[in-house]
């Protein structure tokens, strides 16, 4: 298998990983308000309910940190496979739980497995995708993530009339329909060519590149890309990039700055409030409609449909434009939502305010998936140096999950205690994202992963390259310098 078919099979593996992320994010939101779930766990209060839902994020956080330690030596395929095995055990345990302690423990186990998968699938996808369409491939993954959320809510809605614990056990168990194929595909797809090159397996890297391009190993395009990858590996090895200490070292290719950018965008995504809406959509919509489960299904169907829009924008409009424009509008949405929810709280019969609040929520979800969601998963994998990519991606993903935990844990209590003011907090937080994004986030559209190193470096002529052509020219200079240094070292050793 080679060429487009191999790329599509690899994309299918990562796509199932993203769909599993989405389904797991949405499934509890679809069942926690149903009487059978409440009866099984003896009607937990808002604090305990928040813990049952949010403890999964603690598992994801722990799994991401473990991946930061073992993921690089394991490789992309084995990390995903190990995560899937852990998730399979966690899913079975959740579906069989009958006590609060059991479901909390098994959700932690599932979370650890998700930490492995979530930290690794974006890296694998970015490392096998063509540079010109890398953003579009990740957008495809995120459409499937949103499809997973949509499916979770419709499954929850479909099981709402059912009596007995199977009304929530079956939706929870259905995550296995994604996990089992992931385990099977791990044995089919090749390892990342960039990981192979970084671990001294240059010949295997060349063979995988040839298979992905559907060309012979001696083809000029294959050799050129392989040479570029090997040059980047040598450049990073020469400056010591790759150890834990190097993560926080402001070296020639700005490793520390790049890690902080990767972590900050993941932090921004979660602290901005999206999962307060995803996990508790039914609770939010209960304020404005008499059919919260039905409207939740419609909301996440729209979320899925809107996720196709960035397919056509991320590689043309670019990452920075989408972030800055859509986050500005997202902050405005939260401000308007605060006012509308205040009106509804003061007068529950105000149907116009209820319709307006629902419409703003639909608009916000579209803005999020167009301008933030697609970028937040492609950007860290692009921005991180090759030899720090697995560690850095895992750490940035850990930032995502621990912030997610904080938001999901506090949302039920916050809604009970401060009501509409909760939206004002998120309006301010989203507006605060704009200055750091404007001043510190570079554009990466159209650049090879190796060229991004040069985007952060100060090349030989003292200027920062502004175009892809300049980046490629500087990469040639770096390769020539590296070759000259190697020759000098050989001469010295002979002398």
Looking at per-residue pLDDT, the higher value among 436 and 2 belongs to 436
Closest-CA residue to 157 (of 39, 35, 294): 294
Residues 51-90: b if buried by 16+ CB within 10 A, e if exposed: bbbbbbbbbbbbbbbbbbeebbebbbbbbbbbbbebbbeb
Q: Tell me the mean pLDDT in the region 180-207.
A: 90
Chain Cα centroid distance, residue 98: 31
What are the tens digits of pLDDT across the range 326-363? 999 999 999 998 898 888 888 878 888 888 888 988 99
Residue 468 predicted with pLDDT over 50? no
What are the tens digits of pLDDT across the range 93-124? 999 999 999 999 999 999 999 999 988 888 88
In CATH, the number for domain 4-189+239-449 is: 1.20.1250.20
Residue 306 predicted with pLDDT over 60? yes
- Label residue 324 by pLDDT band (50, 70, 90): very high
Q: Tell me the mean pLDDT in the region 180-184.
A: 94
Q: Mean pLDDT across the chain, nearest whole number?
A: 82
Give the pLDDT score at 495: 52
Q: Up-side HSE of residue 84: CA atoms within 13 Å toward CB?
A: 27
Highest mean pLDDT among 58-72, 77-91, 126-140 belongs to: 77-91
**pTM, to two decimals:** 0.71
Residue 478 predicted with pLDDT over 80? no
How many C-beta atoms lie closer than 10 Å to residue 201's C-beta? Answer: 16
Residue 269 predicted with pLDDT over 70? yes
What are the tens digits of pLDDT across the range 360-412? 889 999 999 888 887 887 788 788 876 677 788 778 888 888 888 888 778 87
DSSP state of 243: B
Contact present, 281 and 300 (Cβ < 8 Å): yes
Residues 6+ apart with CB under 8 A from 47: 412, 413
Q: Tell me the mean pLDDT in the region 170-184.
A: 92
Q: Tell me the mean pLDDT in the region 282-304.
A: 78
How would you class 422 by CB atoms within 10 Å of its CB: exposed for 0-12, middle for 13-18, buried for 19 or more? buried
Residue 293 predicted with pLDDT over 50? yes
Q: Tell me the mean pLDDT in the region 168-173.
A: 92
Residue 92 predicted with pLDDT over 90? yes
Q: Which of 128-142, 250-264, 388-402 has the lowest mean pLDDT?
A: 128-142
Give the pLDDT score at 116: 93
Give the pLDDT score at 310: 84
Give the pLDDT score at 351: 81
Give the pLDDT score at 462: 44
The pair of structure tokens assigned to 342 is 């205040």
Looking at per-residue pLDDT, the higher value among 469 and 239 belongs to 239
Give the pLDDT score at 240: 60
Give the pLDDT score at 246: 67
Percent of all residues in the chain with a pLDDT value above 90, rounded to a whole number: 22
What are the tens digits of pLDDT across the range 424-466? 999 999 999 999 999 988 888 777 776 777 777 755 444 444 4
Residues 6+ apart with CB under 8 A from 89: 106, 109, 113
What are the tens digits of pLDDT across the range 194-249? 889 888 898 899 998 888 888 888 888 888 888 888 877 776 677 665 566 767 77
Q: Tell me the mean pLDDT in the region 269-288.
A: 77
Element at 111 (helix H, strand E): helix 100-128
């Amino acid at each position: 298998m080679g060429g487009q078919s191999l790329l599509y099979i690899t994309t299918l593996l990562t796509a199932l990983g993203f769909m599993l992320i989405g389904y797991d994010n949405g499934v509890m939101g679809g069942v926690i308000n149903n009487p059978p779930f409440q009866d099984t766990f003896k009607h937990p209060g808002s604090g305990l309910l928040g813990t049952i839902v949010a403890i999964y994020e603690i598992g994801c956080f722990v799994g991401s940190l473990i991946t930061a330690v073992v993921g690089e030596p394991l490789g992309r395929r084995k990390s995903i496979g190990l995560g899937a095995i852990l998730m399979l055990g966690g899913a079975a345990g959740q579906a069989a739980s009958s006590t609060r302690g059991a479901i909390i423990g098994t959700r932690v186990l599932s979370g650890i497995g998700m930490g492995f998968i979530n930290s690794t699938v974006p890296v694998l996808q970015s490392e096998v995708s063509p540079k010109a369409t890398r953003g579009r491939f990740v957008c495809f993954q995120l459409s499937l993530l949103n499809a997973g959320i949509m499916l979770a809510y419709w499954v929850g809605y479909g099981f709402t009339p059912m009596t007995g614990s199977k009304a929530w056990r079956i939706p929870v168990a259905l995550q296995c329909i994604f996990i089992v194929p992931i385990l099977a595909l791990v044995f089919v797809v090749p390892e990342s060519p960039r990981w192979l090159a970084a671990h001294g397996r240059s010949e295997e890297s060349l063979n995988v590149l040839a298979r992905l391009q559907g060309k012979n190993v001696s083809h000029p395009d294959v050799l050129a890309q392989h040479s570029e990858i090997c040059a980047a590996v040598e450049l990073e090895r020469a400056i010591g990039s790759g150890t834990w200490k190097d993560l926080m070292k402001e070296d020639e290719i700005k490793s520390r700055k790049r890690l902080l950018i990767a972590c900050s965008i993941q932090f921004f995504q979660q602290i901005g409030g999206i999962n307060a809406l995803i996990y508790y959509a039914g609770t939010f919509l209960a304020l404005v409609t008499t059919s919260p489960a039905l409207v939740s299904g419609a909301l996440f169907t729209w979320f899925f449909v809107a996720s196709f829009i960035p397919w056509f924008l991320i590689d043309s409009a670019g990452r920075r434009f989408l972030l800055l424009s859509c986050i500005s509008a997202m902050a405005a949405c939260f401000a308007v939502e605060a006012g509308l929810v205040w009106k509804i709280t003061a007068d529950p019969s105000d149907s116009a305010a209820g319709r307006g609040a629902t419409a703003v929520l639909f608009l916000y979800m579209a803005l999020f998936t167009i301008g933030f969601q697609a970028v937040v998963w492609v950007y860290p994998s692009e921005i991180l140096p090759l030899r720090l990519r697995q560690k850095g991606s895992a750490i940035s993903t850990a930032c995502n999950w621990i912030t997610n935990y904080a938001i999901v844990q506090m949302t039920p209590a916050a809604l009970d205690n401060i009501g509409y003011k909760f939206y004002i907090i998120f309006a301010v937080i989203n507006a605060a994202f704009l200055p750091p994004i404007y001043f510190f986030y570079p554009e990466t559209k159209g650049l090879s992963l190796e060229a991004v190193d040069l985007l952060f470096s100060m090349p030989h002529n003292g200027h920062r390259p502004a175009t892809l052509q300049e980046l490629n020219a500087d990469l040639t200079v770096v390769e020539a310098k590296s070759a000259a240094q190697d020759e000098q070292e050989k001469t010295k050793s002979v002398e």
